[in-house]
Chains A and B, each alone.
Chain A
Amino acid sequence: MSEIDSLRASMTTDFDSRNMDWYIDKIVQFLVFIAGISAIVFIIGIFAFITLEGFGFLLEDFSFREFFLSPFWEPSDEDAPEYGILALVAGTASVTGLAMIVAIPFSLGAAIFIGEFATGKLRESLKVLVELLAAIPSVVWGFIGLSIMNPLIIDLFDVPVGLNVLNAGIILGLMAAPIMTSIAEDALKAVPDRYREAAEALGATRWQVIYKTVLPAAKNGLLGAVLLGMGRGFGETMAVLMATGHAVNIPDSLFDPVRALTATIAAELGETAVGAPHYQALFTIGIFLFIITFLINLTADLIVRGIRKG
């Protein structure tokens, strides 16, 4: 064998061939990619399916004026059904608004205490407690509104019924608070320690450090926390179904019963025939809810992402 032949022989390499593992790798890569885009598929799917079911209503009975501006939700009126969600929007808004008034100061305060003041074991235990609070199911909260808050409100304020804006607002506030607390605490944690150290080196007290340095730096994250808490309150169903009193009504006071958008769907979907205008109108409310929460989440995401970039 000549030298060039022996070199060629050594170069007829056996290693460069595709084996089973190579193909398995490609297949797995394809499969996890499919799983990865499933979230997009589901979001589009949710929008597509609720639009599909609500489409008939949007084409025939839907009137933009009536839907958004009429306070009368009377879908089961046989002669002249009316599909106005104004009162329902007012119900959702009043309850969510009160919930935010209750939840924002407490959850931000708790987040600051847990994130900036508490240390060691205390901090760990508080975090665990907040996490457990967030885990209580909404139907249990609704039941608490119904069975504990209701008599309490009747006693304290001397009103005939305790299922109203006040009750649902407090319940919803208690529900949203732990979520807002833990997101807000994450936002505070995202502020680098060197900011705090720099301010402390200048002789600032801990509160001055928090007020002048940490809070401004975490501003966007905290705003994001508030928005996500709001989105959660807005979309909450069982608790508001059970604690609001479920009466179509634009409230004048905290003691008026109201009805929320979500609760309306939950209460009426079972009574309607598939494909009926009423059924389709409920899906149209679903489209509305989807779009609003989508916008809230999108905004929160953009705001939070803003701090990461800056």
Chain B
Amino acid sequence: MFAESPLNVRNKRIENLFRILFLMMTILLIIPVVVILATLIAKGGSIISIDFLFTDPTNGMTAGGIFPALLGTVWIVAVALLASVPLGVAAAIYLNEYAGDNWFTRIIQLAIINLAGVPSIVHALFGVGAFVIFFGFGTSILAAGLTLAIMTLPVVIVSTRESLRAVPQAFREACWNMGATRWQTIRRVVLPNAVSGILTGVILEVSRTAGETAPIMFTGAAFFLPFLPQSVFDQTMALSLHLFVVATQVPGVPENLPFGVALVLIAMVLLMNSISIAFRMYLRGKKKW
């Protein structure tokens, strides 16, 4: 066999050094989060119970549960999804199935990147200017949901486009050759094979939407409301804003309360993400062609 030259030995050593260095960096990136999660569980776990989830806050939000906030988040997320999923899927269909490779498409892509990159507080300002004032929705679930819908539209567009792109072109051509219109091809062959990928993106969007705070602060979410919302034109409490409120705005809150709220919020978001990731992996393992 070949004898290891001193140079080779040195190179190997350098390589191992860097391997370990980068591994440490990766671990250091992850450790704080593990510590944080552990702390949240340690300090907030004690308060979590069925009652906590399903009762109203009491004593000026220093006791009781988080039910109105949880329900409000569900309302806002539902409105946001109803608006952004059809629009985002349609936009992705346009980009992947109709648009050519030209400057106009590039401008659309740039707009999508920017929509994702504009600070959330600027989306909030837009929501106030457009939905609350201009369209006259007032501070309402509708205004908050629509603001979040526009903010998370890129998530739907990008993930839908990815899954449309994964459908081989030969299938489309086979359909076109049979006399199917573009839309018939999309509806009968492309979409059915992309729908699970789209769903993965939608779940991801749910998680994004549920965690956002700044865009809903002035458009529809309230610090405290003594009643549950009856329609999309009502204000509501929301879980993310509730965490901000009990952590910073209410005096005399027992320590485990905000930790409990944070734990519920993070569990909700991570659960959604995990479902989305697991779903994606399951799909990757399933062969259809």
Residues of A within 8 A of B (CB): 21-22, 24-25, 28-29, 31-40, 42-43, 45-46, 49-50, 52-53, 105-107, 109-110, 112-114, 117, 126, 128-133, 135-140, 142-144, 146-148, 174, 177-178, 181, 205-208, 210, 228, 231-232, 234-238, 242, 262, 265-266, 269-270, 274, 282-283, 286, 289-290, 293-294, 296-298, 301
Q: What are the 10 A-B residue pairs with the smallest beta carbon separation, nearest first? A: A137-B211, A235-B119, A36-B94, A109-B25, A35-B90, A49-B129, A113-B22, A25-B181, A32-B94, A39-B111
Q: Which residues of B contact A283 (CB under 8 A)?
A: 125, 129
CA distance A198 to B244 in the complex (A): 54
CA distance A206 to B244 in the complex (A): 47
Q: Which residues of A contact B113 (CB under 8 A)?
A: 297, 301
The reply to whether A135 and B90 form a contact with Cβ atoms under 8 Å apart is no
Can you report 26 residue pairs joining A to B where beta carbons are below 8 Å apart? A32-B97, A35-B93, A42-B111, A45-B126, A46-B122, A52-B129, A106-B28, A114-B26, A135-B208, A135-B270, A137-B212, A143-B262, A207-B14, A207-B15, A262-B121, A266-B121, A266-B124, A266-B217, A269-B218, A283-B125, A286-B125, A293-B117, A293-B119, A294-B117, A294-B118, A297-B110
Chain B stretch 262-277: residues in CB contact (< 8 A) with chain A: 262, 265-266, 269-270, 273-274, 277
CA distance A63 to B147 in the complex (A): 31
* A298 (CB) vs chain B CBs: closest residue: B110
* A262 (CB) vs chain B CBs: closest residue: B121
The reply to whether A297 and B114 form a contact with Cβ atoms under 8 Å apart is yes
Interface flags for B76-116 (1: CB within 8 Å of A; 0: not) read 00000000000110110111011100000001101111110
How many of chain B's residues touch chain A, expressed as a range? 35 or more
Interface flags for B19-48 (1: CB within 8 Å of A; 0: not) read 101111110111011001001000000000
CA distance A232 to B114 in the complex (A): 11
Q: Which residues of A contact B32 (CB under 8 A)?
A: 174
Interface centre among B24, B183, B259, B273 (most CB of A within 10 A): B183
The reply to whether B121 and A25 form a contact with Cβ atoms under 8 Å apart is no
Q: Do most interface residues of chain B lie in helix, strand or loop, or is the interface mixed?
A: helix
CA distance A36 to B186 in the complex (A): 16
Partner of A39, one of B26, B153, B266: B153
Minimum distance in angstroms from B106 CB to a CB of chain A: 8
The reply to whether B214 and A238 form a contact with Cβ atoms under 8 Å apart is yes
CA distance A114 to B29 in the complex (A): 12
Minimum distance in angstroms from B121 CB to a CB of chain A: 4
Minimum distance in angstroms from A126 CB to a CB of chain B: 6
CA distance A293 to B124 in the complex (A): 15
The reply to whether B120 and A35 form a contact with Cβ atoms under 8 Å apart is no
The reply to whether A113 and B112 form a contact with Cβ atoms under 8 Å apart is no
Q: List 20 additional contacts besides A35-B88, A137-B210; criterion CB under 8 Å.
A: A29-B98, A36-B91, A38-B91, A46-B122, A52-B129, A110-B26, A112-B22, A139-B211, A139-B243, A139-B265, A140-B262, A143-B244, A174-B29, A207-B11, A269-B218, A286-B121, A289-B119, A289-B122, A290-B122, A296-B117
Q: Which residues of A contact B122 (CB under 8 A)?
A: 46, 50, 235, 286, 289-290, 293
Minimum distance in angstroms from B180 CB to a CB of chain A: 9
CA distance A216 to B262 in the complex (A): 42
